[in-house]
Structure 1
Amino acid sequence: MSEHLSSLPETPAAADRPAPAEQAVVDRLRAAGCVFAEDEARLLVGAATSPEELAGMVERRASGLPLEHVLGWAEFCGRRVAVDPGVFVPRRRTEFLVREAVAIGGRPADRPVVVLDLCCGSGAVGAALADTLESVELHAADLDPAAVRCARRNTEGAGGRVYQGDLFAPLPSGLRGRIDLLAANVPYVPSGSVGFLPPEAREHEALMALDGGPDGLDVLRRVTAQAARWLAPGGALLFEVSEQQAATAVAVVAADGLEPRVATCDELYATVVIGTRPS
């Protein structure tokens, strides 16, 4: 499985050998180069409702389609998130960003915490925050129509409002100066590195969700340039970068009037930069 397939639940090692039908799936996936063929086979066998459906799912996976797109869901922060074909698959490392946001926004308040999930993809981050925080007014936005449709399904239970458009452009003006938590899962892969991503990502996820420009931070700069105007006093912008990009990202955040800090998680290989609007 590629890096982003680690978002799927771990399955315990079976005490017995796989059933013959499951073993055939394991063999087919292993022949196709799937490293975690046993785990993937268990998930596919459990999801299929007929032998015919299972055969089709196995062949789609063997042809290179991300497992989450075959299943139609990914596990993120302990919940299943719908992931449609072509939509960015939430990575497990992004759960660290959610934890950092909860630590900031989970304190008692006399009103709901206003959350914006920007570049939302499937809406996994916003949905997880809505599940975890006590009271949330949830908004999300993405440029990709497929992502917007998917995010609407994932956030409707939390009353989320999802907008289609470029960054802040589609947001209602009434949100300006009110956002407590702005989670911006912007693309940060440098353009020259996109070709080195696993095939599951570069061939089956939207390029706009991956390519961050020459140094990977072009979209981030557009976000930070406007973030202070949308954040409430004391509100925070949170986004992921690579460890190598962190110092540059911190300088960008500070130049645009936010107070930066960096949080890291060795377990998930995650680096999150947090920029807070002064109170």
Structure 2
Amino acid sequence: MASKTESATYTHGHHASVIRNHSARTAKNSVAFLLPHLTPSMRILDIGCGPGSITVDLAEHVPQGQVIGLERAGSILEQARELASQRGIMNIEFVEGDANGLSFEENSFDVVLCHQVLQHVGDPIGMLKEMNRVTKSGGIVAAREADYGVFVWYPELPGLREWQTLYDRVARFNGGEPNAGRMLHVWARKAGLNDVRSSCSMWCYSTKEEIEWWSGSWQERALKSSFATTSLDGKLATVEDLERVSKTWKEWGEDQDAWLSIPNAEILSFKK
């Protein structure tokens, strides 16, 4: 087991507006690239599980197996446990831990997954090595990361480019890499992962409900989440700047033609 600990700060934090966003993630809309490779008795580790919405879904795909959700911010795990309880999922466990130094033996899991995690860590290559360490021979290391540099939206409001630039600055100030998607396959190679298969999928928000959901989330996150706190404490933005970003997301959300797509890179590594 490695002893290294995390050096970066999680950009989004765990404000209610962030958790609501993350709770909408499911196995189907977030890790569909992995699902065809699952078998009923697999043991799975989901790193950075957050409120557990993906983790609980995965447990339903391996009814004779086991899923462990690992999260560094232990405070959010009660919500994850409550979700599992509500859905009657028994083959699941949620634990607090640091993925830089996993408290599991080598060759412990059939699948080790992280979703939207590597962009927020100080050493993504090191974390992939650690994920590979605890994966069994013949098992799978899987990861999916967005790329903030290539978000696409309509209408082209100038304030959204301001938000994108500020987000990049905040994420890098925290020690992360906001354009992780385009680098994911390179990180996998440098981590020594073998038989790496790359793909890409999109989140696309186009319905009235989807637009309102994303718009409302970022209206609040721009002012109240850790993104806002870091922007101010790091002197990366002023209160007025954040209010302008929030108002821009509101304006975008009220446009009947609003549309947003988020590219996500994916890797599957089949360990020899």
Kept in 1, the 8 Å contact 2:51–2:79? The answer is yes
Aligned residue among 18, 22, 31 for 1:98: 31
Give the gaps of 5 or more residues in structure 1: 1-63, 75-87, 190-211
- Find the counterpart in structure 2 of residue 225 from structure 1: 129
Give the letter for the 1:143 counterpart.
R
The percent identity for this pair of structures is 13
* 3-state SS of 2:192 partner: coil
- Find the counterpart in structure 2 of residue 43 from structure 1: none
C-alpha distance in 2, partners of 1:135/1:149? 24
- Find the counterpart in structure 1 of residue 43 from structure 2: 114
Larger of the two Rg values belongs to structure = 1
- Find the counterpart in structure 2 of residue 160 from structure 1: 92
Kept in 1, the 8 Å contact 2:116–2:146? The answer is no
C-alpha distance in 1, partners of 2:268/2:139? 8
Q: TM-score, normalised by structure 1?
A: 0.51
The verdict on how the C-alpha distance between 1:222 and 1:124 changes in structure 2, with shifts beyond 3 A counting, is farther
C-alpha distance in 1, partners of 2:181/2:127? 16
State the shift of 1:146 in Å.
Answer: 1.4
C-alpha distance in 1, partners of 2:28/2:94? 21
Measured on the aligned residues, the alpha-carbon RMSD in Å equals 3.0
**1:201-224 superposed Cα distances (whole Å, 9 cap, x missing partner):** xxxxxxxxxxx2xxxx63533321
State the shift of 1:184 in Å.
Answer: 0.8
* 3-state SS of 2:107 partner: coil
Give the letter for the 1:264 counterpart.
C
- Find the counterpart in structure 2 of residue 51 from structure 1: none
Aligned residue among 189, 195, 199 for 1:254: 189
- Find the counterpart in structure 2 of residue 187 from structure 1: 117
State the shift of 1:264 in Å.
Answer: 2.0
Residue correspondences, number: 166
Q: TM-score, normalised by structure 2?
A: 0.52
State the shift of 1:186 in Å.
Answer: 4.1
1:168-179 maps to which residues of 2 (within 5 A)?
Answer: 169=101, 171-173=103-105, 176-179=106-109
C-alpha distance in 2, partners of 1:92/1:254? 27
Kept in 1, the 8 Å contact 2:43–2:111? The answer is yes
**1:168-214 superposed Cα distances (whole Å, 9 cap, x missing partner):** 646343xx31312212124355xxxxxxxxxxxxxxxxxxxxxx2xx
Kept in 2, the 8 Å contact 1:186–1:219? The answer is no
Kept in 1, the 8 Å contact 2:113–2:141? The answer is yes
C-alpha distance in 2, partners of 1:229/1:115? 14
C-alpha distance in 2, partners of 1:187/1:136? 24
Higher relative contact order (CA 8 A, sep 6+): 2
